[in-house]
Amino acid sequence: MDISIVVPLYNEEESLRELTEWIGKIMSQHSLSYEVIFIDDGSKDASWEVIGELAREHDFVKGIKFRRNYGKSGALNRGFMAAAGDVVVTMDADLQDSPEEIPELYRMINDDGFDLVSGWKKKRHDPLGKTLPSRFFNGTTRCMSGIKLHDFNCGLKAYRKEVVKSIEVYGEMHRYIPVIAKWAGFNNIGEKVVQHQERKYGVTKFGMERFVKGFLDLLSITFISKFGRRPMHLFGSIGTIMFILGFLAAFWLGVQKLYHVYQGISATLITDSPYFYISLFAMIIGTQLFLTGFLAELVSRNNPTRNRYIIEKTIGVTQEMD
Protein backbone atom coordinates (compact mmCIF):
# COMPACT_ATOMS: atom_id res chain seq x y z
CA MET A 1 0.00 0.00 0.00
CA ASP A 2 1.30 3.44 -0.95
CA ILE A 3 -0.30 5.77 1.60
CA SER A 4 -2.03 5.59 4.96
CA ILE A 5 -3.96 8.76 5.78
CA VAL A 6 -4.49 9.16 9.52
CA VAL A 7 -7.25 11.60 10.47
CA PRO A 8 -7.81 12.35 14.19
CA LEU A 9 -11.15 13.97 14.90
CA TYR A 10 -13.44 15.21 17.63
CA ASN A 11 -17.03 16.22 16.83
CA GLU A 12 -16.56 16.65 13.07
CA GLU A 13 -19.66 14.87 11.71
CA GLU A 14 -20.41 17.60 9.14
CA SER A 15 -17.08 17.39 7.33
CA LEU A 16 -16.27 13.66 7.26
CA ARG A 17 -18.20 12.68 4.12
CA GLU A 18 -16.94 15.66 2.15
CA LEU A 19 -13.37 14.99 3.26
CA THR A 20 -13.59 11.30 2.31
CA GLU A 21 -14.92 12.09 -1.17
CA TRP A 22 -12.23 14.75 -1.65
CA ILE A 23 -9.48 12.32 -0.66
CA GLY A 24 -10.90 9.59 -2.92
CA LYS A 25 -10.99 11.94 -5.88
CA ILE A 26 -7.36 13.04 -5.49
CA MET A 27 -6.04 9.51 -4.88
CA SER A 28 -7.87 8.16 -7.93
CA GLN A 29 -6.44 10.89 -10.14
CA HIS A 30 -2.89 9.87 -9.17
CA SER A 31 -3.52 6.09 -9.13
CA LEU A 32 -2.28 5.66 -5.56
CA SER A 33 -3.29 2.78 -3.30
CA TYR A 34 -4.34 4.07 0.10
CA GLU A 35 -6.34 3.72 3.27
CA VAL A 36 -8.03 6.37 5.40
CA ILE A 37 -7.95 5.73 9.16
CA PHE A 38 -10.35 7.91 11.14
CA ILE A 39 -9.53 8.13 14.86
CA ASP A 40 -12.65 9.27 16.74
CA ASP A 41 -11.30 10.84 19.92
CA GLY A 42 -14.44 10.34 22.01
CA SER A 43 -16.79 12.49 19.91
CA LYS A 44 -20.16 13.42 21.42
CA ASP A 45 -21.90 13.94 18.07
CA ALA A 46 -22.67 11.45 15.27
CA SER A 47 -19.11 11.29 13.95
CA TRP A 48 -18.75 7.56 14.62
CA GLU A 49 -22.03 6.77 12.88
CA VAL A 50 -20.85 8.70 9.83
CA ILE A 51 -17.54 6.80 9.86
CA GLY A 52 -19.49 3.53 9.96
CA GLU A 53 -21.53 4.56 6.95
CA LEU A 54 -18.41 5.58 5.04
CA ALA A 55 -16.71 2.26 5.89
CA ARG A 56 -19.66 0.37 4.43
CA GLU A 57 -19.54 2.47 1.27
CA HIS A 58 -15.75 2.51 0.76
CA ASP A 59 -13.37 -0.37 1.47
CA PHE A 60 -10.47 2.06 2.04
CA VAL A 61 -12.13 3.65 5.10
CA LYS A 62 -11.19 2.32 8.54
CA GLY A 63 -12.11 3.64 11.96
CA ILE A 64 -11.03 3.55 15.60
CA LYS A 65 -13.15 5.06 18.37
CA PHE A 66 -11.89 6.00 21.82
CA ARG A 67 -14.24 5.57 24.76
CA ARG A 68 -13.42 9.11 25.92
CA ASN A 69 -11.44 12.13 24.75
CA TYR A 70 -7.71 11.47 25.11
CA GLY A 71 -6.38 14.30 22.93
CA LYS A 72 -4.84 14.58 19.50
CA SER A 73 -1.51 13.03 20.49
CA GLY A 74 -3.17 9.83 21.69
CA ALA A 75 -5.26 9.65 18.52
CA LEU A 76 -2.23 10.08 16.28
CA ASN A 77 -0.21 7.51 18.22
CA ARG A 78 -2.97 4.91 17.82
CA GLY A 79 -3.33 5.78 14.14
CA PHE A 80 0.41 5.32 13.63
CA MET A 81 0.15 1.86 15.16
CA ALA A 82 -2.61 0.89 12.73
CA ALA A 83 -1.09 2.43 9.58
CA ALA A 84 0.10 -0.04 6.92
CA GLY A 85 1.15 2.30 4.08
CA ASP A 86 4.74 2.96 3.01
CA VAL A 87 4.06 6.67 3.59
CA VAL A 88 1.84 7.92 6.42
CA VAL A 89 0.07 11.25 6.00
CA THR A 90 -1.70 13.02 8.86
CA MET A 91 -4.35 15.69 8.38
CA ASP A 92 -7.13 17.31 10.35
CA ALA A 93 -10.78 16.46 9.71
CA ASP A 94 -12.08 20.03 9.60
CA LEU A 95 -11.34 20.54 5.86
CA GLN A 96 -8.70 23.18 6.62
CA ASP A 97 -6.03 20.79 5.29
CA SER A 98 -6.29 20.16 1.54
CA PRO A 99 -5.98 16.53 0.30
CA GLU A 100 -4.61 17.98 -2.94
CA GLU A 101 -1.27 18.35 -1.15
CA ILE A 102 -0.97 14.60 -0.48
CA PRO A 103 0.50 13.44 -3.83
CA GLU A 104 3.36 15.95 -3.64
CA LEU A 105 4.02 15.08 0.00
CA TYR A 106 4.17 11.41 -1.03
CA ARG A 107 6.60 12.23 -3.83
CA MET A 108 8.89 14.16 -1.48
CA ILE A 109 9.06 11.15 0.85
CA ASN A 110 9.24 8.47 -1.82
CA ASP A 111 11.45 10.17 -4.44
CA ASP A 112 13.34 12.95 -2.65
CA GLY A 113 14.25 10.75 0.31
CA PHE A 114 12.83 12.82 3.16
CA ASP A 115 12.02 11.03 6.41
CA LEU A 116 9.40 13.59 7.32
CA VAL A 117 7.82 16.51 5.46
CA SER A 118 5.91 19.11 7.46
CA GLY A 119 3.32 21.42 5.97
CA TRP A 120 3.74 25.17 6.32
CA LYS A 121 0.52 27.18 6.39
CA LYS A 122 2.23 30.30 5.11
CA LYS A 123 -1.08 32.10 4.64
CA ARG A 124 -3.41 31.27 7.50
CA HIS A 125 -7.13 31.87 7.88
CA ASP A 126 -7.06 32.08 11.65
CA PRO A 127 -7.54 34.96 14.12
CA LEU A 128 -4.56 36.74 15.68
CA GLY A 129 -5.33 34.94 18.93
CA LYS A 130 -4.05 31.77 17.27
CA THR A 131 -1.45 33.04 14.81
CA LEU A 132 0.62 35.22 17.18
CA PRO A 133 1.09 32.58 19.91
CA SER A 134 1.86 30.01 17.19
CA ARG A 135 4.64 32.20 15.80
CA PHE A 136 6.13 32.56 19.25
CA PHE A 137 6.12 28.82 19.92
CA ASN A 138 7.41 28.00 16.44
CA GLY A 139 10.32 30.38 17.00
CA THR A 140 11.01 28.92 20.45
CA THR A 141 10.93 25.37 19.10
CA ARG A 142 13.29 26.27 16.24
CA CYS A 143 15.81 27.70 18.71
CA MET A 144 15.62 24.79 21.14
CA SER A 145 15.54 21.95 18.60
CA GLY A 146 17.68 23.32 15.77
CA ILE A 147 15.04 22.20 13.23
CA LYS A 148 14.39 24.95 10.70
CA LEU A 149 10.64 24.58 10.26
CA HIS A 150 8.19 27.47 10.12
CA ASP A 151 5.09 25.61 11.31
CA PHE A 152 5.60 22.72 13.74
CA ASN A 153 1.89 22.58 14.57
CA CYS A 154 0.58 22.07 11.04
CA GLY A 155 -1.61 18.96 11.04
CA LEU A 156 -0.70 18.11 7.45
CA LYS A 157 2.50 16.07 7.55
CA ALA A 158 3.95 13.07 5.71
CA TYR A 159 6.22 10.43 7.24
CA ARG A 160 8.20 7.48 6.08
CA LYS A 161 6.63 4.39 7.63
CA GLU A 162 9.74 3.68 9.70
CA VAL A 163 9.39 7.05 11.43
CA VAL A 164 5.88 6.53 12.83
CA LYS A 165 6.71 2.98 13.89
CA SER A 166 9.74 4.20 15.86
CA ILE A 167 8.26 7.05 17.90
CA GLU A 168 5.67 7.47 20.62
CA VAL A 169 3.43 10.54 20.91
CA TYR A 170 1.58 11.48 24.10
CA GLY A 171 0.46 14.51 26.10
CA GLU A 172 0.50 17.55 23.81
CA MET A 173 3.55 16.36 21.89
CA HIS A 174 1.85 16.02 18.50
CA ARG A 175 3.02 19.54 17.63
CA TYR A 176 6.62 18.48 18.31
CA ILE A 177 6.70 15.25 16.29
CA PRO A 178 9.60 16.59 14.12
CA VAL A 179 11.62 17.04 17.33
CA ILE A 180 10.79 13.51 18.48
CA ALA A 181 11.67 12.14 15.03
CA LYS A 182 15.02 13.94 15.05
CA TRP A 183 15.74 12.53 18.51
CA ALA A 184 15.02 9.04 17.10
CA GLY A 185 17.64 9.60 14.38
CA PHE A 186 15.47 10.70 11.45
CA ASN A 187 17.26 13.91 10.51
CA ASN A 188 16.16 14.38 6.90
CA ILE A 189 13.23 16.69 7.63
CA GLY A 190 11.68 18.83 4.91
CA GLU A 191 8.96 21.43 4.60
CA LYS A 192 6.31 22.26 2.02
CA VAL A 193 4.09 25.32 1.76
CA VAL A 194 0.49 24.08 1.87
CA GLN A 195 -2.84 25.71 1.29
CA HIS A 196 -4.82 26.52 4.42
CA GLN A 197 -8.60 26.50 4.05
CA GLU A 198 -11.06 28.48 6.12
CA ARG A 199 -13.00 26.39 8.60
CA LYS A 200 -16.26 25.36 6.96
CA TYR A 201 -18.04 23.58 9.80
CA GLY A 202 -17.95 23.69 13.59
CA VAL A 203 -15.50 25.51 15.83
CA THR A 204 -11.90 24.98 16.87
CA LYS A 205 -11.35 22.38 19.59
CA PHE A 206 -8.22 23.99 21.07
CA GLY A 207 -8.05 26.80 23.62
CA MET A 208 -5.25 28.96 24.97
CA GLU A 209 -4.28 26.29 27.52
CA ARG A 210 -2.73 24.26 24.71
CA PHE A 211 0.17 26.72 24.52
CA VAL A 212 1.03 26.29 28.20
CA LYS A 213 0.84 22.49 27.93
CA GLY A 214 2.72 22.56 24.65
CA PHE A 215 5.57 24.61 26.11
CA LEU A 216 5.90 22.22 29.06
CA ASP A 217 5.98 19.28 26.66
CA LEU A 218 8.70 21.01 24.66
CA LEU A 219 10.80 21.24 27.82
CA SER A 220 10.10 17.56 28.51
CA ILE A 221 11.16 16.52 25.00
CA THR A 222 14.32 18.63 25.17
CA PHE A 223 15.30 17.18 28.55
CA ILE A 224 14.49 13.57 27.65
CA SER A 225 16.26 13.75 24.29
CA LYS A 226 19.48 15.03 25.89
CA PHE A 227 19.49 13.43 29.34
CA GLY A 228 16.78 10.74 29.32
CA ARG A 229 19.33 7.91 29.31
CA ARG A 230 21.99 9.73 31.37
CA PRO A 231 20.30 11.99 33.98
CA MET A 232 23.41 11.90 36.18
CA HIS A 233 25.23 13.96 33.55
CA LEU A 234 22.86 16.87 34.19
CA PHE A 235 21.97 16.66 37.88
CA GLY A 236 25.34 15.31 38.94
CA SER A 237 27.28 18.00 37.09
CA ILE A 238 25.20 20.90 38.41
CA GLY A 239 25.14 19.42 41.92
CA THR A 240 28.90 18.89 41.99
CA ILE A 241 29.60 22.44 40.80
CA MET A 242 27.24 23.95 43.38
CA PHE A 243 28.72 21.85 46.20
CA ILE A 244 32.31 22.77 45.28
CA LEU A 245 31.48 26.48 45.08
CA GLY A 246 29.69 26.36 48.43
CA PHE A 247 32.53 24.40 50.02
CA LEU A 248 35.18 26.79 48.71
CA ALA A 249 33.21 29.78 49.99
CA ALA A 250 32.82 28.19 53.44
CA PHE A 251 36.51 27.21 53.45
CA TRP A 252 37.50 30.79 52.65
CA LEU A 253 35.37 32.11 55.51
CA GLY A 254 37.04 29.60 57.85
CA VAL A 255 40.56 30.53 56.70
CA GLN A 256 39.74 34.21 57.05
CA LYS A 257 38.46 33.66 60.61
CA LEU A 258 41.58 31.67 61.63
CA TYR A 259 43.82 34.36 60.17
CA HIS A 260 42.08 37.05 62.24
CA VAL A 261 42.35 34.96 65.41
CA TYR A 262 46.03 34.22 64.78
CA GLN A 263 46.77 37.91 64.20
CA GLY A 264 44.74 38.95 67.23
CA ILE A 265 42.35 40.91 65.06
CA SER A 266 38.79 41.24 66.28
CA ALA A 267 36.39 39.51 63.86
CA THR A 268 32.70 38.70 63.79
CA LEU A 269 31.45 35.17 64.16
CA ILE A 270 31.30 33.13 60.97
CA THR A 271 27.64 32.43 61.63
CA ASP A 272 26.96 36.16 61.60
CA SER A 273 28.07 36.40 57.98
CA PRO A 274 25.36 36.01 55.30
CA TYR A 275 27.95 34.39 53.03
CA PHE A 276 28.13 31.43 55.45
CA TYR A 277 24.45 30.65 54.92
CA ILE A 278 24.75 31.17 51.18
CA SER A 279 27.64 28.70 51.00
CA LEU A 280 25.80 26.25 53.28
CA PHE A 281 22.71 26.51 51.08
CA ALA A 282 24.79 25.86 47.95
CA MET A 283 26.34 22.73 49.49
CA ILE A 284 22.93 21.38 50.57
CA ILE A 285 21.34 22.01 47.17
CA GLY A 286 24.39 20.56 45.41
CA THR A 287 24.15 17.40 47.49
CA GLN A 288 20.42 17.08 46.78
CA LEU A 289 20.95 17.53 43.04
CA PHE A 290 23.69 14.90 43.04
CA LEU A 291 21.44 12.45 44.89
CA THR A 292 18.60 13.26 42.47
CA GLY A 293 20.87 12.38 39.55
CA PHE A 294 21.95 9.18 41.31
CA LEU A 295 18.35 8.09 41.93
CA ALA A 296 17.32 9.04 38.38
CA GLU A 297 20.21 6.93 37.09
CA LEU A 298 18.94 3.94 39.08
CA VAL A 299 15.44 4.43 37.66
CA SER A 300 16.86 4.75 34.15
CA ARG A 301 18.83 1.52 34.51
CA ASN A 302 15.61 -0.31 35.44
CA ASN A 303 13.76 1.10 32.42
CA PRO A 304 12.84 -1.80 30.09
CA THR A 305 13.54 0.41 27.05
CA ARG A 306 17.02 1.53 28.19
CA ASN A 307 18.67 -0.59 25.47
CA ARG A 308 16.04 -0.08 22.79
CA TYR A 309 17.77 1.32 19.74
CA ILE A 310 16.41 1.91 16.25
CA ILE A 311 18.34 -0.20 13.75
CA GLU A 312 18.35 1.14 10.20
CA LYS A 313 20.21 -1.63 8.35
CA THR A 314 22.12 -4.83 9.06
CA ILE A 315 24.61 -6.99 7.16
CA GLY A 316 24.83 -10.68 7.89
CA VAL A 317 22.75 -10.34 11.06
CA THR A 318 19.13 -11.33 11.56
CA GLN A 319 17.32 -8.42 13.17
CA GLU A 320 14.91 -9.44 15.91
CA MET A 321 11.73 -7.41 15.95
CA ASP A 322 9.87 -6.36 19.12
Residue 263: the pLDDT is 81
CA angle 112, 168, 100 (to 5 degrees): 40
126 confidence band (pLDDT: 50, 70, 90) = low
Q: Taking the domains of the chain in order of start, what are their residue ranges?
A: 3-227, 231-301
User: pLDDT by residue (tens digit) across 42-99?
Assistant: 999 999 999 999 999 999 999 999 999 988 989 999 999 999 999 999 999 989 899 9
Cβ–Cβ < 8 Å for 64, 43: no
- Place domain 3-227 in its CATH homologous superfamily: Spore Coat Polysaccharide Biosynthesis Protein SpsA; Chain A (3.90.550.10)
d(CA 54, CA 189): 34
Report the candidate in 216, 191, 174, 200 with the shortest Cα–Cα distance to residue 79.
174
Residue 228: the pLDDT is 62
User: pLDDT by residue (tens digit) across 300-309?
Assistant: 666 655 545 5
321 confidence band (pLDDT: 50, 70, 90) = very low
Average pLDDT over residues 224-242: 79
Burial class (CB in 10 A: 0-12, 13-18, 19+), 259: exposed
322 confidence band (pLDDT: 50, 70, 90) = very low
d(CA 225, CA 297): 15
d(CA 296, CA 212): 26
β-strands 34-40, 116-120 pairing: unpaired
Instruction: Please provide the average confidence, as pLDDT, over all residues in the chain.
Output: 84
